[in-house]
Chains A and B, each alone.
Chain A
């Protein structure tokens, strides 16, 4: 087994295990920390695909910014056993059925899917330079439109958080 393959299996194991632990951990803060480990494992996968830029940005944005905010909010809420919301049995049952249906759909969608292996493994494909050229030449309009989407989301969040509007 080559070293890349060993790293791949290790990262995959880590990603799936910690993703499962996000769901099964009793303490919400532990869940957030497991999710951070998952993000690191996925960033490792990006590195294996020689997409350094994507790996770095993934760490900076998800692990470095978004998860800090998650952790921040969960620490402030101080969730524990007493404040845990108790759902009715019927809601739990409906949730299980819905999740099962979702899994069925996913399995059905991926069952017949063709796995294509792209032979031309160009090492510079994930570099900042080639990514920037693709984003700002071929996909300039979608790129800018998505940034407007973020701006709209930000304005909406500011509007909602203003208390004395009415």
Chain B
């Protein structure tokens, strides 16, 4: 088969899986919340309520769509589109498994192995704020505007600490390609051992960037009705909510790739030799392991949401600028000193 065709198939499969997982994350979220609050959760649509996401989607599509007459119509429509587009674009650089050999050709299970993968990721994430800002402003509503401004200031603040945490990681790995970072963790230790502080900063920032609780101030119901999506209804609202779940899935995948070995698992080559597995079989096991890790982190996102209450706005800013930023800078200095002491630079 043509390499381009295979890449196209991988791209479509990744896109479909992303949407599927985001769909079932909504169901999982409600089930996790139900377990934590000693309730049953959705159980009416289908066995165990498994068809609930489908019912939700039908509900979203059937609702009346309202575009406020005083709003800026085109930008009002563009807002959720940009949010969805940027959410889907981030999945491109994530390696999902080891190489697979088909006939004489070898393929990596990754849509594009960019040599500036981390920068691409960072660029797309920084575009994500426009969806919220444009939507909030175009609604022509005070609450939407305040929500949008909160969201943008929060995302800019936490992007800095996140970038600095990644810089320490780039220093130790010496590459900007995600695939290479994952391969290095197969040969050496997982990066969580090398960069524990960097991981902590990164995961806190990932929560803030996805606007998840405890950082969900942009859509804080008790103060702002619905935040930036107050005026949205029907599937446009659905897009905003859905983009959040896609972002959650992708950030889980990125955390796994950066700090938890990606698709690798301990003693994988010993297992391969013991059972006499082919390269392809190992790659398929690796994909399963990768998704297992990602599901754990999606669960972690939900676990935190139903455990920790929302921050106050000044607490949020203090945490971002006065705690995470100095910590990330200190992490870079310590990493540099240790590397210098070990004679690596």
Contact = CB atoms under 8 A, between A and B. Distances in A.
Contacts, number: 60
Nearest to A58: B123
Interface string A127-152: 11000000000000000000000000
Interface stretch (A5-13, A67-75, A104-112): A67-75
B126 A63 contact: yes
Interface string A53-68: 1001101100111001
B265 interface: no
A33 interface: yes
Interface of B: 75, 114-116, 119-120, 122-123, 126-127, 129-130, 133-134, 137, 145, 148-149, 152-153, 156, 159, 176
Interface of A: 29, 33, 36, 52-53, 56-57, 59-60, 63-65, 68-69, 71-72, 75-76, 127-128
B115 A65 contact: no
Contacts of B159: 64-65
A75 B136 CA distance: 10
B115 A60 contact: no
Contact of A71 (B115, B119, B133): B133
Contacts of B120: 56
Contacts of B153: 72
A106 B331 CA distance: 47
Nearest to B170: A128
A59 B126 contact: yes
B116 A52 contact: yes
B116 A53 contact: yes
A63 B152 contact: no
A60 B123 contact: yes
Nearest to A40: B127
A127 B148 CA distance: 36
A46 B130 CA distance: 23
A128 B115 contact: yes
> Ordered nearest first, which 4 A-B pairs have the shortest CB separation?
A64-B126, A56-B119, A59-B123, A60-B123
A25 to B, nearest CB: 12
